Every structure is written in C-alpha cells, then in structure tokens.
A and B are shown apart, each in its own frame.
Chain A
Amino acid sequence: MPILSYLRALNRALAAELERDPAVCVFGEDVRVAVSNVTTGLLKRFGPDRVIDMPISEQAFTSLATGAAMAGARPVIEFQIPSLLYLVFEQIANQAHKFSLMTGGQLHVPVTYLLPSSGSRTGWAGQHSAHPYSLFAHVGIKTVVPATPTDAYGLLVSAIRDDDPVILFAPAEAVPQTEDVDFDSLAPVPLGVARIHRTGTDVTVVAVGHLVHDALAVAEELADTVSVEVFDPRTLYPFDWTALAASLERTGRLVVIDDSNRTCGIGGEILATAASEMRLVAPPKRITRPDGAVLPFARGLDLAVQPNRAQLCSAIETVVKHS
C-alpha cells in the first residue's frame, strides 16, 4: 500500500474539501508556494481565488475569514507559527467563537485554523515553539490534535465541514509520522471521539498529539511487566469523557502526558475529571511542561522542559505500584 505522510494527509484533506465544496478556500502566508508543505499543488489545481496568499496581517485576515464565513464561505487559515495564535486570540476567542451565541444563533463561523507545525521544533526557540491547545479548549473552541496521518486527514475534513470554528494542531513531532494506507480508505473522523491505540488492563495513559507515539513506545518497552492502554483523545474539546470512563473502568489507573504548561493545562482537567467522576484505584499522575515554561533555544534546554519517555515510565511505575 502507498505511504501516507502526515503533511500529505493534510494536503489531501484540503484538496478533497476544496474539490467537494466551492465555499472552501485557503488563507495564509506563503500558502501559494506551500512554505509549510501543506498546500502543495493546490494553487495550480484550484487557482488563486481559492488559495489566497495573505500579507503579514494576521489579525485582519483572521477576522476577514470570520466575515467571509458569515457570508457563506468556509475558509481554512494556515498559520505557519503556533505563537501567532496569541496575536489572533481576540479574533478567534472573542469574535469568531462568540457570534453564534451572541446573535441568538443567527450567525455561524465555519472557519478552520490549521497549525501545521505546533509545539517544539528543533532550533526555533521561544516564540516559535508554543503549543497552546489547552487555551483554545478552555475557551470552548473545538480543538483537535491528530497524532497520525489518517487521523490528520479525517479530523481536518471534519473540521472544515463543521459549522463552528475548529482549530487543528499538527504537532511538529508528529509530522514525521507515516502510515501504510490505502488512500481510498481515508475517511472523515468525527470530532469528539477518542481512539485507543493499544488496549491494556493495568493503566490508562492519555497522550496528546505526538506524545501518543512516545506512549506507544513506552507501553511496548514495559509490556513484560505492565499492561498499558494508550488512549488518544484526538479531540481535546469536546473531550470524549465517556471513552475515558470506560477505559478507567478497565484499568482504574491514569497517567496523562500533555505538552501544555502545567497550570491550567488540559492534563489538569483530565486528572480532575477522572478523580471526581471516574473509577480510580490509585492517585493519577500527569507529565507536562513545567509551570510557565518558555522553550529555551539550546537543544538540551528545549528537551529539558518537554514531557519525555523517562518521566512517563516513572509515572506508570509509580501508579501501578500503588495498591
């Protein structure tokens, strides 16, 4: 079967939706030349009216998409840099997100925000390495973080078809992922539905985005001693709490690995919900970036503040030892 890379999956999803729905258009900086390798070939196939290069005016073009969406368009905005989300937080959290409620359902804003390289990217330092998905989940933006190429395809398609704003983070560390897959089998993945990558009976590891692959590696490493279930929420908001409760019914133990800063990160929400509403036989643990972290430049420093496999191993062992 052919090999599907993560970025190729995003590209195929964009092309499929541009083909299917004339209201879909792509906004972004340097999208015509596909600087991020996501929009490759789209200009030639769909033309400059559908694939639109923007000047460096993120705030204006983010709300421009909102206005176009109110008038019937379905824009997808590619942001090259995750930290640009701080610049347009007003336009997303305070404008696009609020119109449906504030207008009593008169206006909807079907815009997709696409982050094709979120989180740490080696050598890009503090202002290019943010991973602010928890902020958007907190605000109530539908937030997806695909871990695999097929999920990237399916979640992007669903995001574009959704009538509300949806943000998709493609973690830089997940982008090298490839899958052997029949392209004809690619299908939408519904928002709000988790995926269990590996079943287990001793502990549930909830891993976000690229950390799913770390969790799978650790699960394999520990397979002789611990049966680890690897739970990929895929969508952080709305979160698939039903699936998590079902997983914890089986395992009763929880470790979360989450590339957010610790305070108010999604990992904290997952722990709190599990502790107050679900079956746990041991205190849960979470592995996150430290409080208030800014990713430093030097590689060793950058890695020192990202969640890692050693921390995950240790947390699993601690949680499993608890009787």
Chain B
Amino acid sequence: MSADPAKASADPAKASADPAKASADPAGLYRTVRLIRRFEERAIQLVRSGVIPGGIHPYLGQEAIAAGVCAALRADDIITSTHRGHGHVLAKGADPGRMLAELAGRETGLNRGRGGSMHAADVGVGIFGANAIVGAAAPIATGAAWWLRRLGGDRVAVSFFGDGAVNQGVLLETLNLASLWRTPVIFVCENNRFATSMRVENATAGSILGRAAGFGIPAETVDGMDPQAVLAAASIAVERARAGDGPSFLECTTYRFDAHHTWEHIARPRYRTAEEVAVGSSRDPVEVAGARIPPAARAAIDAEVEALLDAAEEFVAASAVPDPAGALDYLYADGMRGRAGEPA
C-alpha cells in the first residue's frame, strides 16, 4: 500500500515526536528559527568533522520562511522540500535527532540512512521528501494535494522551491495544472537571489510573480526574513486552499548567508563579495524573531534548543550505521530483490 500520513502516524516505527512543529506565537516562531539556525551551524561542524559525509546545503538566513509557512500548517498537511531542505523538515515537525542521524547516514535516521540531506522524509508528519532535482517536487506536492482533495477533507500541500526553479519547465507546467484544477497547494518560492552562483537577474526574464500571474494564481512578495510576515501571508494562502479556492504563490525574499553547499568552504568559488554577503546578512531572521520576545524567554528557548541539539548529537553518536547487507533494502515495496552485482 502507498503510505498515507494519517495511517503512518499510527505506526510507532514511522511516527515522529512533534517537539519542533512550528507554532504560531512569537515565542514559537523564534524557537523554530533558532532551532534551524543552530541545527545548521552544528551540521556544518559535523560536515567538517566527517560525521556527516559529503556535505550539506545550509539553510542559514532563510529560516523565517520554513518557520512561518509551517506554522500555518497542520501536522496532516503535506510538504515537499528541496536540496536545501533541513529547515522545512524541522519546521514541519521531524525529530531533530532523527534528522541529524539521517544526515550522518545512520540506521536511526528519518530515512534509515538511505536518503541523506537531500532526500529527508517523514511521512508521519506529512513530509513527502526533500528533492534533489530543482523544481521536481512541485508536481508531487500538487498531485498529493489533488488526491487528498478528491478524498474529501481540507488538507493542503506546500511545495518549497528556490528562485532557480522558476525557469524549470516542470514547475511552470505544474502551476498551470494546479490553477486549472484549483488544487489546494501553496507554492513557496524562496528567492535567496542565487541559483548556486547565478544571480536571479541573470537567470530570470520577466518576474517571479509574473509567472504565477500568468497562470491566474494569486501571488505576493513576502519579507522572507520575518517569520511573522511569512506566517501572515501563508495563513491566507492556506485558508484559500482549504476553502477550495485553489493555489497561491508566495515569493519570499531572503538571502543565503552561507555557501550554496559546504563544498564551497573548500572550493571558494567567487561569485559574491564579502561586502555583499555582509549587507545581505545584515538583517537576520533570528534577530527579527528574537526581538519580539522578552530576553529571558529568548534565553530560555536558546537553552532548550541547545539541550535538544546536544541530545540529538548524542543520539547520532549512539546510532549504528546501516548493515551493508541491507544496501538495497526498501528498493521495492514488496521486498523484491534483483540479482546481485556479482552472484555469490
């Protein structure tokens, strides 16, 4: 059977605790933003120390978008994410320990160590996977939303993607279909100004919002550095979708504080100056959200997040790596095994 989130969450092996689910009050939004920030900073260190193989695409600077959008969602709503997906996965409610274990390739990871950073999924909280192909998850989120609508109820789906995706044909095809069928899906474009090294103005003719407008989809630009602003816009979009009034498109303006990928820390490609990065990073979503709550409350949240992430790292350290004999476990739903590369 295909996985139904409602059923999956009843399965203890698949369900995740929901400690990090983004909540909508200022303290909750700050907590989510702070959790993602510290998770990513620690993950970068774990890349450097070799605990996380390969590397990651840090979400630093973009935290307010995941926090604000997911605060507008319910646990049974669906999201799809991107190669830069840790923030979405945490904000939607995946357990940070199991997420970190996935990045480290452990059997206890969300995907049992089979997916890694770019494929993290947690069906129990509606995460239909991060996706490593730019724009590729948009039709998946739309298809899920379409089917859920068919089943009745008011569940919605969110597709996160970056500015680089707005020139992918499959995304534009999907916008057409979603609008045509009034599918309850919210397209969230995180415009961090760069597709790897390519500036949005060098990649994109016309405008990002103009693409949505071309398909008759309500669209607006949102301050992606402010989780409250993102939440406000996302809430309207989610209500529109739940009411049966079809898709929405949010362009959340933000800035990528760190590398496209941690590989850049070594390769150091030059496509933006230190001065430009400093200007782009000068408005920090952690500070925007933190300024809205009392200092004591902020300090308490910071301490709680550190304890949670300490526990997450301990969980990873105590977790086994998968048995190589199971390298192709889960390849087929029915457990089918193809032939080995060299028959024993």
What are the interface flags for A44-73 relative to B under an 8 Å C-beta threshold, 1 for contact and 0 otherwise?
Answer: 000001000011010111111111111111
How distant is A71 from chain B, measured CB to nearest CB, in Å?
4
Q: Is residue B33 within 8 Å, beta carbon to beta carbon, of the partner chain? A: no
Q: Is the Cβ of A100 less than 8 Å from the Cβ of B331?
A: yes
- Assess whether A67 is in contact with B139, with CB atoms less than 8 Å apart: yes
B176 touches A107 (CB 8 A): no
A67 and B129 in contact, given A72-B151, A106-B123 (Cβ under 8 angstroms): no
Q: Which residues of the other chain, B, contact A94 by a CB distance below 8 angstroms? A: 133, 136
Distance, CA A65 to CA B2, complexed state (A): 12
Q: Mark A84-102, 1 if CB is under 8 A from B, else 0.
A: 0000001100110001111
List residues of chain B with CB within 8 A of the CB of A277: 343
A60, closest chain B residue (CB): B173
Tell yes or no: B334 within 8 A of A by CB: yes
B8 lies within 8 A of A106 (CB): yes
| CB contact between B338 and one of A102, A105, A140 (< 8 Å): that residue | A140
- Tell me how far the C-beta of A80 lies from the nearest C-beta in chain B, rounded to whole angstroms: 17
> Which residue of A66, A71, A107, A163 is within 8 Å of B139 (Cβ)?
A66
**0/1 interface trace, chain A 102-123, chain B, CB 8 Å (1 if under):** 1111111110000000000000
Q: Which residue of B lies closest to A95 (CB)?
A: B136
A102 to B132, CA, bound (A): 11
Which residue in chain A gives the minimum CB-CB distance to B185? A67
On whether the beta carbons of A95 and B170 are closer than 8 Å, the reply is no
Are A63 and B170 neighbours in the complex by a CB distance under 8 Å?
Answer: yes
Q: Which B322-344 residues have C-beta < 8 A from chain A?
A: 328-334, 336, 338-339, 343
**For the complex, is B113 an interface residue (Cβ under 8 Å from A)?**
yes
Alpha-carbon distance A284/B166, docked complex (angstroms): 52
Q: Give Cα distance in the complex from A71 to B112, angstroms.
A: 21
Residues of B78-121 whose CB lies within 8 A of A? 78, 80, 109-115, 119, 121
* Residues from chain B with Cβ under 8 Å of A109 in the complex: 2
Q: Are B129 and A63 in contact (CB under 8 A)?
A: no
Binds A, one of B51-59, B62-70, B142-150, B291-299: B142-150
Tell me the nearest residue of chain B to A64, going by C-beta.
Answer: B143
- Asked whether B209 is an interface residue with its Cβ less than 8 Å from the other chain, the reply is no
Complex CA distance for A103 and B89, rounded to whole angstroms: 13
B331 to chain A, nearest CB (A): 5
Q: What is the total of A-B residue contacts with beta carbons within 8 Å?
A: 169
Interface status of A132 (Cβ within 8 A of chain B): no
Which residues of chain A are near B112, meaning CB under 8 Å? 104-105
Interface size on A, residues (CB 8 A): 44
Complex alpha-carbon distance, A103 and B129, angstroms: 7
Neighbouring A residues of B78 by C-beta, 8 Å: 71
Is there contact, CB below 8 Å, between A70 and B2? yes
When A49-B150, A106-B122 are in contact, do A68 and B143 touch as well, CB less than 8 Å?
A: yes
Q: A99-B129, A103-B123 are in contact. Are A71 and B143 (CB under 8 A)?
A: yes
Closest to B3 in A: A107
Residues of chain A contacted by B145 (CB below 8 angstroms): 67
Q: How far is the CB of B115 from chain A (nearest CB, A)?
A: 4
A290 in the interface (beta carbon within 8 A): no
A232: CB under 8 A from chain B? no
Contact indicator B123/A107 (Cβ below 8 Å): yes
Nearest chain A CB to B253 CB, angstrom units: 26
On whether the beta carbons of A70 and B329 are closer than 8 Å, the reply is no
Check if A68 sits within 8 Å of B334, measured CB to CB.
Answer: no
B311: shortest Cβ distance to chain A, in Å?
22
Q: Is A173 among interface residues, defined by CB-CB distance under 8 A?
A: no
Closest chain B CB from A108 CB (angstroms): 4
Q: How far is the CB of B244 from chain A (nearest CB, A)?
A: 15
CA distance A67 to B174 in the complex (A): 12
Is B39 close to A, CB under 8 A? no
* Distance to closest chain A CB from B314 (angstroms): 22
Question: Which one of B128, B136, B142, B338 contacts A107 once the chains associate, using CB atoms below 8 Å?
Answer: B128
CA distance A109 to B114 in the complex (A): 17
Task: Decide: A71 near B4, CB < 8 A? Known: A55-B176, A106-B111, A107-B129.
Answer: yes
B180 part of interface (Cβ distance < 8 Å): yes
Chain B neighbourhood of A164, CB < 8 A:
332-334, 336
Contact B144 A70 (CB under 8 A): yes
Query: Is A162's beta carbon under 8 Å from chain B?
Result: yes
Contacts of A61 in B (CB 8 A): 139, 173, 177
How far apart sit A108 and B8, CA to CA, in the bound complex (Å)? 12
Q: 28 A-B Cβ contacts within 8 A? A: A49-B150, A55-B176, A55-B177, A59-B169, A60-B174, A62-B139, A63-B174, A65-B143, A67-B80, A67-B128, A67-B142, A67-B146, A71-B147, A73-B2, A90-B136, A95-B136, A95-B140, A101-B329, A103-B111, A104-B330, A106-B8, A106-B14, A106-B121, A107-B2, A107-B3, A107-B129, A110-B2, A238-B338
Give chain A's interface residues, CB within 8 Å of chain B.
49, 54-55, 57, 59-74, 90-91, 94-95, 99-110, 140, 162-164, 237-238, 241, 277
- B residues lining the A interface (CB < 8 Å): 1-5, 8, 14, 78, 80, 109-115, 119, 121-123, 128-129, 131, 133, 136, 138-148, 150-151, 157, 169-170, 173-174, 176-177, 180, 328-334, 336, 338-339, 343
12 further contact pairs, Cβ within 8 A, besides A63-B138, A95-B140, A162-B334: A49-B150, A59-B170, A61-B139, A64-B142, A71-B2, A73-B147, A99-B129, A103-B123, A104-B113, A105-B112, A106-B8, A164-B332
Q: Which 7 pairs show the lowest CB-CB distances between chains A and B?
A: A67-B143, A104-B112, A60-B173, A163-B333, A63-B139, A67-B140, A64-B143
